[in-house]
Amino acid sequence: MRPYAIAAPIVLILSVASSVAPASAAAPGEGFDVTRYDLALTPDVANKAVSGRETITLRAMADGLSRLSFSANALTIDHASLDGAPVAVTTRGESLDFDLPRPLARGRTARLEVTYHGRPARGLEGTGASLHTSYFACDWMICAQERFGDKAAFALDLTVPAGMDALAAGERVGRRPLPGGGEVQSWRTPRPYSAYLFGFAVGRFVRAEDRAGGVKLAYLSDVADADALRRRFGETGEMARFFADKAGVPLPVAEYGQLLVAGREAQEAATYSVLGLDAVPAAPGDPAQDWAVAHELAHQWWGNLVTCATLRDFWLNEGITTFMTAAWKERRHGRAAYEAELAMARSRLDKARAAGFDKPLAWDGTYPSLGARRAVQYSKGALFMDRLRTALGEEAFWSGLRRYTRDHAGGTVTSADLQRAMEAASGRDLDTLFAEWVFGAPPG
Ligand SMILES: [Zn+2]
């Protein structure tokens, strides 16, 4: 996501499972594991509303599981059942709780079915003529927003109004025309993803296409024509080749989409990104303006494929991506552009420090503001990657990044995983450097 602009009160979902002896209530990744979300969704484009029928397939990780907790949202739940038996639904603070008719035993698989409708408070942006999601997936469906560690398959049957096209997380695997116009498009993710990466868009989109190796690049918009899309996104293929080389992993999707909308949006989803006209230069080649396409594309590897296990290590998503954006600029525009990008990160961190705020990258506390969080997790994170690069040298550093990315592709990571990969690649003990920057305590 973009470094400084989304209005995101990032709230940790508190699970009560860990502190209660007879494990009864739990959240995804802690007490139970969601293996897939199957969603049939009908968006109301004009009113920025949705109605949905969702099946959550889950497995109990502890005995006596009697309550399933997801993120509270503004939706109205019409009906909920577990394997056919009715389930009581209660909102408790930040938590949307499903109280089960009977406790589940460890290892037991169950299906929670929920029908709902409403107007999401966040996460759904629209002009009246088109609609796209942005970050807060668990505002328009039932999931757990900050439970990054619980990756799950996502299958969406999306009702698309007549005359409109759609884009969603995953690959489009089917289209079924509806009587009276419109169609249902079926989308499936190629692998499990964290819930914040689920998303969709519907509208009267113009479409342009390109290729990067074996990957199709699709550019869509209802605010620009096909020529403008090709101009603005024309360097995507070259960026993808650069990131794939540095990751040691090809762009991990069959098709990568970019949806161009009005405004300053910059938000990654599982297999596509949403970018605002004001965040993307009208033509490539301006080093002051071309961060957004690179940043959101880099998330396909760092963030989406290799994902921080918890919010504590969110810097692994955003700091590495911010650094890789600078590395792309170095490749595209030369060393001065790399230095300029890092200087910007340094000034953001310095500003936080001048206000009395600085924390280790893996600090687990509550940030006083979104700006403070970003000064650490985005800016200081990028500066630490540059520090590692300088300390280890080109060969060991990039080899370490490849090892980290390859070893954890499709999985989740903590800061210790990055340290291990960099140590293995360089043959050096990096305890002191990681203690100073990441963990905040001297080794031993
Ligand atoms: Zn980001």
Helix (H) or strand (E) holding 415: helix 415-426
Residue 61 lies in a domain: yes
Give residue 132's pLDDT: 98
Question: For residue 444, which amino acid is it?
Answer: G
Domain check: are 342 and 434 in the same one?
Answer: yes
Q: Ligand 1 centre from 378 Cα, in Å?
A: 8
pLDDT score of 85 more than 50: yes
The CATH number of the domain holding residue 155 is 2.60.40.1730
Q: Ligand 1 centre from 371 Cα, in Å?
A: 14
For the chain, the average pLDDT equals: 93
**What whole-number percentage of the chain has pLDDT above 70?**
93
Q: Ligand 1 centre from 292 Cα, in Å?
A: 9
Domain check: are 37 and 180 in the same one?
Answer: yes
Considering the entire predicted model, what is its pTM? 0.93
pLDDT score of 51 more than 80: yes
Domain check: are 251 and 372 in the same one?
Answer: no
- What values do phi and psi take at 316, rounded to 5? -65, -35
Domain check: are 197 and 58 in the same one?
Answer: yes
Domain check: are 141 and 194 in the same one?
Answer: yes
pLDDT tens-digit profile of 195-226?
999 999 999 999 999 998 889 999 999 999 99
pLDDT score of 78 more than 60: yes
Domain check: are 85 and 165 in the same one?
Answer: yes
Give residue 18's pLDDT: 39
Give residue 9's pLDDT: 40
Cα 383 to Cα 349: distance, rounded to the nearest angstrom: 9
Q: Ligand 1 centre from 381 Cα, in Å?
A: 12
pLDDT score of 282 more than 90: no
Residue 19 lies in a domain: no
Give residue 3's pLDDT: 57
Question: For residue 7, which amino acid is it?
Answer: A
Of 259, 275, 301, the one marking the end of a domain is 301
Q: Ligand 1 centre from 321 Cα, in Å?
A: 6
Residue 168 lies in a domain: yes
Q: Ligand 1 centre from 421 Cα, in Å?
A: 22
Domain check: are 314 and 398 in the same one?
Answer: yes
Q: Ligand 1 centre from 91 Cα, in Å?
A: 30
Mean pLDDT for 168-180 is 97
Q: Are 285 and 329 in contact (CB under 8 A)?
A: no
Nearest to 29 by CA among 311, 324, 260: 311
pLDDT score of 303 more than 80: yes
Mean pLDDT for 255-260 is 98
Mean pLDDT for 344-367 is 96
Domain check: are 185 and 218 in the same one?
Answer: no
Number of domains in the chain: 3
pLDDT tens-digit profile of 235-247?
999 999 999 999 9
Enclosing domain of residue 367: 308-439
Residue 331 lies in a domain: yes
Of 301, 324, 350, the one marking the end of a domain is 301
Domain check: are 177 and 294 in the same one?
Answer: no
Q: Ligand 1 centre from 73 Cα, in Å?
A: 24
Q: Ligand 1 centre from 55 Cα, in Å?
A: 29
Q: Are 417 and 404 in contact (CB under 8 A)?
A: yes
Residue 135 lies in a domain: yes
Q: Ligand 1 centre from 171 Cα, in Å?
A: 22
Give residue 2's pLDDT: 63
Q: Ligand 1 centre from 314 Cα, in Å?
A: 10
Domain check: are 317 and 404 in the same one?
Answer: yes
Q: How far is CA 381 from CA 146, 349, 360, in A?
A: 20, 10, 9
Of 160, 182, 203, the one marking the end of a domain is 203
Q: Ligand 1 centre from 317 Cα, in Å?
A: 7
Residue 262 lies in a domain: yes
Pinpoint the alpha helices (H) of 18-134. none
Domain check: are 284 and 316 in the same one?
Answer: no
Residue 422 lies in a domain: yes
Domain check: are 52 and 178 in the same one?
Answer: yes
The CATH number of the domain holding residue 358 is 1.10.390.10
Q: Ligand 1 centre from 12 Cα, in Å?
A: 18
Q: Ligand 1 centre from 118 Cα, in Å?
A: 29
Residue 247 lies in a domain: yes
Q: Ligand 1 centre from 270 Cα, in Å?
A: 13
Q: Ligand 1 centre from 194 Cα, in Å?
A: 14
